[in-house]
Amino acid sequence: MVKSSQVGVTVTKIATTLSIEVYPGSGPPSAQSITGYLKAAGTPIAGKTINLWVNGVYKKAVTTLTDGSYGFFGYVVAEGTYVFDTIFEGDATYSGSAASKTCVFAKVQANITIAVSPTSGLAPLAVTVSGKLTRADTAAGVGARTIKAYRIDPNAVEKYLGYTSTSIDPGTLGNYAFVDTIPSDGAWKYYTHFEGDDLFKGCGEAVAPCPGCGYSLKFSEEDSELTCGPCGAVLEIMRVG
């Protein structure tokens, strides 16, 4: 038996490229759209499986459309860093390719203001506690959010006054108001609090009438005492709890 010499044949696959884009919502958690294209030398490749991995964990697969596009929609994220990887594993005709995108999602910082009116008077004194909840980044009002109000009496006893929702009206977006009655004399304090939610971080602000002139003094958690600018009176901040 006589054999011929061997002749080599090289078979190559068609090279592919995979792109990825992540289109986030307004904040976490929100539905993200993860999209891209599978192409070969600029030509779309349809009917191929694209796998989605998020932070190294396999999630699901979709098939490319006639224009080579793919999409994963409605993927919900919370705060944190996410690495989105899309992978085409290749087949007998096409070589595999992959794309990756890293995104950092964070809640929006919220700010809240507070005012009390009137700031002085005879007991029992009806007062209105009001303010506005806004985005820290744009200063735009934030509507439909729950605000809680508290009152601290002269003996540092705290009372929860209830809750309300911020306005959704375009002209007063983010505004809130509570009505309360101070039953007796003394230096009373108020603060309002937004606990935060899926999109926004929590925040709070407090106000106390000056014991000397009734001027509204705003304070933070770090303050131990306040000096009234108009009259010079000193107000001690007593912690509750």
Q: Is residue 6 part of a domain?
A: no
Residues 6+ apart with CB under 8 A from 149: 129, 160, 161, 162, 163, 164, 178, 180, 190, 191, 192, 193
Which of 75, 105, 135 is a domain's end point?
105
CATH of the domain at 87: 2.60.40.10
Both 204 and 125 in a single domain?
Answer: yes
Q: Is residue 10 part of a domain?
A: no
Both 89 and 138 in a single domain?
Answer: no
CATH of the domain at 161: 2.60.40.1930
Q: Is residue 3 part of a domain?
A: no
Both 122 and 195 in a single domain?
Answer: yes
Both 48 and 121 in a single domain?
Answer: no
Question: Cis bond leading into 29, ω under 30°?
Answer: yes
pLDDT of residue 238: 47
- Domain span including residue 138: 110-236
Beta-carbon neighbour count of residue 185 at 10 Å? 12
Both 47 and 32 in a single domain?
Answer: yes
Alpha helices of the chain — where are they, by DSSP H? none
Both 116 and 222 in a single domain?
Answer: yes
Both 129 and 88 in a single domain?
Answer: no
Which of 71, 105, 139 is a domain's end point?
105
Residue 4 DSSP label? P
Both 80 and 64 in a single domain?
Answer: yes
Q: Is residue 62 part of a domain?
A: yes
Q: Is residue 7 part of a domain?
A: no
Enumerate the β-bridge partners of residue 209: 216
pLDDT of residue 137: 84
Which of 85, 105, 125 is a domain's end point?
105
Could you give the number of structural domains in the chain?
A: 2
Task: Tell me the three state secondary structure of residue 88.
Answer: strand
Both 101 and 180 in a single domain?
Answer: no
Pull the structure tokens for residue 223.
């303050």
Q: Is residue 86 part of a domain?
A: yes
pLDDT of residue 20: 94
Buried b / exposed e along 139-170 (16+ C-beta atoms within 10 A) = eebbbebebbbbbbeeeeeeeebeebebbeee
Pull the structure tokens for residue 139.
């200063």
Q: Is residue 5 part of a domain?
A: no
Task: Tell me the three state secondary structure of residue 172.
Answer: helix
Residue 110 CA to residue 194 CA, distance in Å, equals 9
Q: Is residue 8 part of a domain?
A: no
Residuewise pLDDT in 10s, the chain (241 residues): 788 888 988 889 999 999 999 886 555 555 678 999 999 999 999 999 999 999 999 999 999 999 999 999 878 777 778 889 999 999 999 999 999 988 877 778 899 999 999 988 899 999 999 999 999 888 999 999 999 999 999 888 889 999 999 999 999 999 999 999 999 998 898 999 998 887 788 887 676 666 666 655 555 544 556 676 667 766 655 433 3
Buried b / exposed e along 206-221 (16+ C-beta atoms within 10 A) = bbbbbbeebbbbebee
